[in-house]
Amino acid sequence: MAVKIEFTGFINGVRQFEWGHAYDVAHSQMMKDEQDEWKVVGKDYFSVTGKPGFEEGDQVAVVGTLKTKLFDKKDGSKGVALNVRATEMTKVERRSQNAPKVGHAALNEVFGTGNPIEESAPF
């Protein structure tokens, strides 16, 4: 059984072969810090085989199967390549600064980020 994977990332490189396209995609690992702000804590780099039509700089959502491959690095140490065969790959449109907020961001804008439950309510 194959390992299924789903992520978003940015295309850093495009390679074209007789059999199809390979994209170098970087995914940022995010975590909230002590101030409750999101920050990048690491990056994953995938080689994704997928349909043509994407270019360097595109943000993409990828769904597919993961395959790892061991290889020898130039310095003689071992490395692990993360390869994904995309079953779905779509371009993610970036939101503009003036775009309306949705989800939690919209609720926080209307109701604030405090506790919305009235603790003294009789029910």
The predicted model gives 12-20 an average pLDDT of 92
Which tokens go with 27?
């995914």
φ, ψ of residue 100 to 5 degrees: the values are: -65, 145
Question: Which domains, ranges and CATH numbers included, belong to the chain?
Answer: 3-111 (2.40.50.140)
The predicted model gives 97-114 an average pLDDT of 57
Q: What is the pLDDT of residue 123?
A: 46
Q: What is the pLDDT of residue 13?
A: 95
The residue among 13, 40, 39, 15 whose CA lies nearest residue 27 is 40
pLDDT of 115 higher than 80: no
CA atoms within 13 A on the CB side of 77: 3
Residues 6 or more apart from 40 whose CB is under 8 A from it? 28, 29, 30
Q: What is the pLDDT of residue 116?
A: 52
The single residue listed with the structure tokens 């609720």 is 107
